[in-house]
Structure formats: structure tokens, C-alpha cells
Amino acid sequence: MPEKNWALTELAFTKLLHWLDSDEQRAGEKYERLRQKLRTFFEHRQCTSPDELTDKTFDRVARKLESGTDIQGIEPSSYCYGVAQNILKEFWRTQSQNIVSLDTQSSRGDSLFNTVVDPAKLQDEQELEMDLRHLENCLKRLTEEDRFLILEYYKGDHRDRISNRHELSLQLDIPPGNLRVRVLRIREQLHDCINRCNNRGDRK
């Protein structure tokens, strides 16, 4: 399964938590501790997007688990750090690539846009503009609560998002892990909606 076509699902995330610990509460606690350590790992290496690289690390591990790869018998944190090392190398390699500037995107289309649209399309400005319009239309089709949640989750720059997501978790009285599950569901809705728009050739 090509990685660029794979997206983290609720089922894959649940398998990841179960891999961390069979007890649901302990798994959630281990996930949050490991998440903070991985974020610090990327931040101390001057990465501009430590949260997104941390997400990518967990996504890659979850994809392995979902595919049936046996990674039992390995201490989860050690395995995740190994994956993080590989992602760090990939991150530095991509810094020299010519990527369409985020200045061409609307404030809503920053990181959220990149999570629901195939990154390859960013090389085509016409498709980029079309998918940005699709994203705005699809956001309008969400419930007010889901639209608020997804936009708040991705609001601000990389540093602001840390405090924003913490405050959002407190505001909604949702543990950080559960908050991410909800965001994943909304992202899947947006991804499917944009695909339907493209299949119909919508240009509104």
C-alpha cells in the first residue's frame, strides 16, 4: 500500500493504542507521554513542524500494525524513535525540494489542506486552486461543531497549535487522544468530500 495514499483511520489508531498497552487508560497515558517525547526530539533538531512529524511517526507505525506487520516483542518507544529517525532524514531531504509556497493558500488551507489533499497536486497551481475551493465548500457542509473543531485544531503556526490544541481539549473537555480521533473522522469526511467534488468535476 503506497504510503502517500494511506490515511490514519480510527481503527488503525485504536490498534496503535492497543500495541502501546492492552489497558485502554494506560495506553492513552503512554501515547501522550511518547507523543511529547517525540515532539521534543523533532523540536530540538530545529524542525519547523515537530507536531506534524510526530503525527507522521505515529501514522507510519499504525500503518505497519494495520498491514499485519509483527512488531511485537519490541519496546514501543524504541521502535517509534527508530521510525522518527527515518522521518527526520526524509524531512531534511525534502527541504531542498521546490514546493508551492503556502502564500498561495488561504488561511484555512494551510496544514489542514495538506492533510486532506494529495501533496502531489501542489505542483499544479490550477489543481491547487480548485481543491482549495473544494475544501472551502466541504467545510461549509460540516456541522457547526465539527467545522469549529477542525479549524481551531489547525489554527495558527506550528508553535501556536500546541497551546491551541491544549486549550481546545480543555474547552471541549476531551482528552487529547480522543480529540485527535474526532479530528481524524472529520479529516476523512473532508477527504472523501473533495474526492467526490473532483470526480464530478465541480468547479463551484
Which of the listed residues 51, 75, 97 is the one where a domain comes to its end?
97
pLDDT of residue 119: 53
How far apart are alpha carbons 103 and 81 in whole angstroms? 33
Length of the chain, in residues: 204
DSSP string over 52-118: HHHHHHHHHHHHHHHTT---TTS-HHHHHHHHHHHHHHHHHHHTTS----GGGS-GGGSHHHHHHS-
pTM above 0.85?
Answer: no
pLDDT of residue 146: 87
**Helix 158-172, helix 144-153: angle, nearest 10:** 140
Which of the listed residues 44, 74, 97 is the one where a domain comes to its end?
97
Which amino acid belongs to residue 195? N
Smallest CA-to-CA distance from 51 within 158, 141, 155 is with 158
Range of the domain at 124: 100-199
Which of the listed residues 38, 66, 97 is the one where a domain comes to its end?
97
pLDDT of residue 103: 31
Neighbours of 150 (CB within 10 A): 23
pLDDT of residue 203: 45
pLDDT of residue 2: 47
119 in the same domain as 40: no
pLDDT of residue 68: 79
36 in the same domain as 77: yes
Q: Is 146 exposed, middle or buried (0-12, 13-18, 19+ CB in 10 A)?
A: middle
76 in the same domain as 117: no
The answer to whether residue 81 is domain-embedded is yes
pLDDT of residue 53: 92
Residues 6+ positions from 65 with CB-CB distance below 8 Å: 12, 15, 16, 19, 71
Q: Which residues of the chain fall below pLDDT 50?
A: 1-2, 96-110, 122, 203-204
* Structural domains of the chain, count: 2
The answer to whether residue 121 is domain-embedded is yes
How far apart are alpha carbons 50 and 39 in whole angstroms? 5
